[in-house]
Structure 1
Amino acid sequence: MTITLFVSLGLTLILLLLSFLFRIAGKLQLTLPLFYFLLTATILNSWAATHETLALTILFLLIAVSVISWVISLRNAFQNRQKAKAIEEDYQWQIARAKSLSIPLDSVYFDASGNMRYTETDALVF
């Protein structure tokens, strides 16, 4: 009875740890390197021991692909932030220009393209 309990508890803890590791790896885009590492550490252990250089090279390549993915994601996030900042500055300029021309802001709106239009006529303000 106690052996079954300890085996069940140990298996539960191992599965909980694996779940936690894969959740973190998913957030960091390291799922493939983690999966490969677990395979080479368990099922493919004899192959990894025989071909150690190849196994480590594959692991490092998978990690390099993940790092390249991080760099691309950071670059895209930076570009998106710059675009959003430019759009926000354009909105602010259009609002300031409308105020300087004494156009009431409740009579205009921004369309999907970011252009200020009159509410009644849908004509462009600028």
Structure 2
Amino acid sequence: MPIAAVISLCLTAGLLILSFIFKVAGKTRQALPFLCLLLFSTVMNKWAGENETLAFIILFSLLGLTVISWIVSLIKAIQRRRDEKYFEDDVAWQIQRARDMGVPLDKIQFNEHGDLLDPRTGQPVVYGDGVQFKDL
């Protein structure tokens, strides 16, 4: 009976560790390369031994695709942050310009294009069609 308990405990701990590894691999987008490595080292061990070069090419290709996806995600995050910073600066500039022009800022509203609207007229204060750039 104690041997069955030890085997059960080891199996449970092993599955817990494997589950944790798959969770980390999924978060870092390495689940497919990890699964490939796991298959090559267990189920497809004979094939991987016979075709070692091909197995390494497949594994390194999957890792390369993972790195490329990380780079693309990093570039998109940098662009998104730059766009947010540009938008924040533009909003602050429009508010400052409206304040300089004497527009009441008690109910600030922006349209779908990001233009600050005059609460009295509903028209864009600084940008927009037909708006004259005042005192630039």
Residue 46 to residue 87, structure 1, CA distance change in 2 (3 Å): same
TM-score, L = length of structure 1: 0.93
Alpha-carbon distance in structure 1 between the residues aligned to 2:122 and 2:104: 15
TM-score, L = length of structure 2: 0.86
Structure 1 equivalent of residue 55 of structure 2? 55
Q: Does structure 1 retain, via aligned residues, the 8 Å contact 2:33–2:59?
A: yes
Q: Which range moved further: 111-120 or 38-47? A: 111-120
* Structure 2 residue matching 1:107: 3-state secondary structure: coil
Q: Which amino acid aligns with 1:47?
A: W
Q: Give the Å deviation of 1:108.
A: 2.9
Structure 2 equivalent of residue 9 of structure 1? 9
Q: Which amino acid aligns with 1:82?
A: R
Q: Give the Å deviation of 1:21.
A: 0.7
Q: Which amino acid aligns with 2:62?
A: L
Q: Give the Å deviation of 1:119.
A: 3.5
Q: Give the Å deviation of 1:120.
A: 5.2
Structure 2 equivalent of residue 27 of structure 1? 27
Q: Does structure 2 retain, via aligned residues, the 8 Å contact 1:107–1:120?
A: no
Q: CA RMSD in A?
A: 1.3
Q: What percentage of residue pairs aligned between the two structures are identical?
A: 44
Q: Does structure 2 retain, via aligned residues, the 8 Å contact 1:108–1:117?
A: yes
Q: How many residues align?
A: 126
Q: Which amino acid aligns with 1:107?
A: K
Structure 2 equivalent of residue 89 of structure 1? 89
Q: Give the Å deviation of 1:121.
A: 4.1
Alpha-carbon distance in structure 2 between the residues aligned to 1:112 and 1:5: 65
Structure 1 equivalent of residue 109 of structure 2? 109
Residue by residue over 1:63-93, the C-alpha shift from the partner in whole angstroms, topping out at 9 and shown as x without a partner, is: 0000000111111111111111111110010
Q: Does structure 2 retain, via aligned residues, the 8 Å contact 1:115–1:124?
A: yes
Which segments of 5 or more consecutive residues in structure 2 lack a partner in the other structure? 127-136
Q: Does structure 2 retain, via aligned residues, the 8 Å contact 1:22–1:31?
A: yes
Q: Give the Å deviation of 1:111.
A: 2.6
Answer 1 or 2: which has greater helix percent: 1
